[in-house]
Amino acid sequence: MSIAITTQFICFTILSLVILIGALGVVLLESIVYSAFLLGGVFMSVAGLYLLLNASFVAAAQVLVYVGAVNVLIIFAIMLVNKKEDLKPINDIKSRRIISTSICLTLLSLLIRVDLTNVWSLSSPENSIGEESTIRIGEHLFSDYLLPFEVASVLLLMAMIGAIVLARRDVMSKDISTGLPVNQELIEKSSEPLLTNKN
């Protein structure tokens, strides 16, 4: 075994272990903050796997989108809300756990089936495109995958407008479920200039 292959094997083992243990931690840990940070670690390790597969652009995009945007926003939201709330114990917690476990196991069996039926190996190692993948991804995004790409952006726009409508206090002054006036305490000061009110 040459040194390059040994290094690759060690990296793969470490990354897979981190992904598995991290993902279990995300699901099983009680503290939501730990879960959020572990999720970032899992995303990073997945990016590492992409890097091992010579897909450096996908790896960087994974870091930028999932770690830099999604995970930061999750953590941001957790910390901005930071509400001390006593959660009510759920009565039928056992049946819920059983249902969610069975759904997850079904998904897992689907993934295993995909893994077993798909032909993963390339016909020859020379067929891998490596660094050229950036150009290929760009070409695909602007030709045959144009519609899904644009639809995804429309989806994101809708989510953004929805978030703004929910967050603006002059738009939503009452709680949707209870109908009581909402006390929206902002951590930062409001965006009005401080001096105008004093005149």
Partner 1 sequence: MEYGLDLEYSFNEFLKGFGLSSEIAHIIWLPLPMLLVLVAAVVGVLVTVWLERKISAAAQQRIGPEYAGALGVLQPIADGLKLLVKEDIIPAKADGILFTAGPILVLVPVILSWLIVPFGQNLLISNVGIGIFLWIALSSIQPIGLLMSGYASNNKYSLLGGLRAAAQSISYEIPLALSVLAIVLMTNSLSTIEIVNQQSGAGILSWNIWRQPVGFIVFWICALAECERLPFDLPEAEEELVAGYQTEYAGMKFALFYLGSYINLILSALLVSILYLGGWGFPIPVELIAKFLNLPINAPFIQVFTASIGILMTVLKAYLLVFIAILLRWTTPRVRIDQLLDLGWKFLLPISLANLLITAGLKLAFPQFFGG
Minimum separation from the CB atom of position 173 to partner 1 (A): 22
Give the nearer residue to partner 1 in terms of CB position, either 176 or 187.
Answer: 187
Nearer to partner 1 among residue 73 and residue 111 (C-beta): 73
Q: How far is the CB of 68 from partner 1 (least distance, A)?
A: 2
User: Measured from the CB of residue 167, what is the shortest distance to partner 1 in angstroms?
Assistant: 14
**Residue 175 Cβ vs partner 1, minimum distance, rounded to whole Å:** 24
**Closer by beta carbon to partner 1, 170 or else 188:** 188
| Distance of alpha carbon 179 from alpha carbon 162, whole angstroms | 19
Q: What does the DSSP 8-state code read for residue 185?
A: -
Alpha carbons 54 and 44: distance in angstroms, whole number: 15
Our CB check for partner 1 shows the closer of 34 and 109 to be: 34
DSSP string, 55-118: -HHHHHHHIIIIIIIIIHHHHHHHHHH-----PPPPTTHHHHHHHHHHHHHHHHHHHHHHHHHS
Residue 129 to residue 12: CA distance in whole angstroms: 21
**Between 138 and 162, CB nearer to partner 1:** 138
Pick 19 or 43: Cβ nearer partner 1: 43
- Rule CB under 8 A: which residues touch partner 1? 2-3, 33, 37, 40, 44, 56-57, 60-61, 63-64, 67-69, 71-73, 75-76, 79-80, 82, 130-132, 134, 187-189, 191
Contacts of 187 (CB under 8 A, 6+ apart): 80
DSSP-assigned beta bridge partners for residue 181: 174
Given a contact cutoff of 8 angstroms between Cβ atoms, the answer to whether 39 and 45 are in contact is no
CB 156 to partner 1: min, Å:
13
Q: Write down the least CB distance from residue 9 to partner 1, Å.
A: 16
CB-based contact 67:76 (threshold 8 Å): no
